[in-house]
Amino acid sequence: MTNRKIHEFLICPRCKEDLIIGESILTCKNCQSVFTQTVVLDNCYFTSFASLEFDEIQRNKSLYDASSLNVRYRNFLNWLFLTFNTDEREFRKKLFNDLDVIPGMRLLITGIGNGDDLYSLLQMFPGRQLDIYAQDISMPMCEFTISQLKKMGSSIKEINISNAAHLPYMSDYFDLVFHFGGINWMSEKKEAIHEMVRVAKDGGQIAIIDESVGTWLRDLEYGRMMINNNALWAATVPLDLLPENVNNVRLEFVLENCFYFLRFKKDSKFPNVNIDIKHIGPRGGSIRSRYFGMLEGIDPDLAAQIPNAAKANGLSVYEYLNQQLAKILYK
């Protein structure tokens, strides 16, 4: 290798270690996995991590690797926005406006598809006002997006073929990580969401938009009709898959309540809670003592007498129990 410089933002998606830059190749300094990288647009890297995703691509070959994929996906999107009487470009712009995208931000779009989110962003912020990165597991999708960017005379920072559940980016790197319309297809949904959080900066936003008919509609004819048309509309909002270190979680239903718009922020300090503040009242104690200080095996009749005994001594239950146990243990 003529150049052993460590890549500035990409890491090995397999072991999360640094990549060493060679001539059109990247080599993991830990597991020695080798990946290809070329410049396809104006200072835009195109990196392939497809060798690690062979099994996933083979399992979903008709979805990820069909030459007609771009046409089929565009036909679906045309139908979708006509059905919901919505201007597609304006809808995508509104999503980014709601996320307070401003010049100078560093954005990652996972599951780029045909690149429609990119085109909206580049119209809103022409030139290099944003540092935009993109990935998809499908070679045809990535190639199509690159071809469209060339036609537009536009460029982004980097695009790669990889698995959204094993992102090849360093941690704490992006101001916004955005995904629209593919997570319902993923076999590793939880891992993909956790990866979006990992690569976001502390305080950075994560946004996910995908199919899901609002739960209040599912037993009504409208909801049943929509789910009958597209089984993905029966998917649930993946709130239970979020990691602990997120905050400011907001959920909105869009496109006639058939898609959810879930956004939240990475918060390394969560939960910012003092669990040692004492309650004032008959029970007393704190969150910590009530949870970690629970006792087992107390006779129910004795337990029933404790509140009255505590009250007679002018103590809370917490104070009384601590006092009596201390007398026994430390006499």
Residue with tokens 């996933």: 56
Record the pTM.
0.90
One domain, residues 131 and 185: yes
Coil, strand, or helix at residue 228? helix
For position 43, what pLDDT does the model report? 82
One domain, residues 43 and 174: yes
The count of domains in the chain is: 2
CB pairs under 8 A, 24+ apart, for 255-260? 255/80, 255/84, 255/86, 255/91, 256/84, 257/213, 257/214, 257/217, 258/84, 258/211, 258/212, 258/213, 258/214, 258/226, 258/233, 259/209, 259/210, 259/211, 259/212, 260/208, 260/209, 260/210, 260/212
Is residue 224 situated within a structural domain? yes
Nearest to 117 by CA among 133, 140, 139, 137: 133
One domain, residues 120 and 232: yes
Tokens representing residue 146 in the block: 């690159």
For 277-288, give the DSSP string.
Answer: PPPPSSS---HH
Average pLDDT per consecutive 10 residues, the chain (331 residues; last block may be shorter)? 72 94 91 92 87 58 65 92 97 97 97 94 92 93 91 91 94 98 92 98 98 97 97 97 97 98 96 95 94 86 92 94 92 75
For position 62, what pLDDT does the model report? 56
Phi, psi values for residue 191, rounded to 5°: -60, -40
Euclidean distance between CA atoms 316 and 322, whole angstroms: 10
One domain, residues 199 and 295: no
One domain, residues 79 and 111: yes
Is residue 179 situated within a structural domain? yes
Domain that holds residue 83: 37-266
One domain, residues 93 and 158: yes
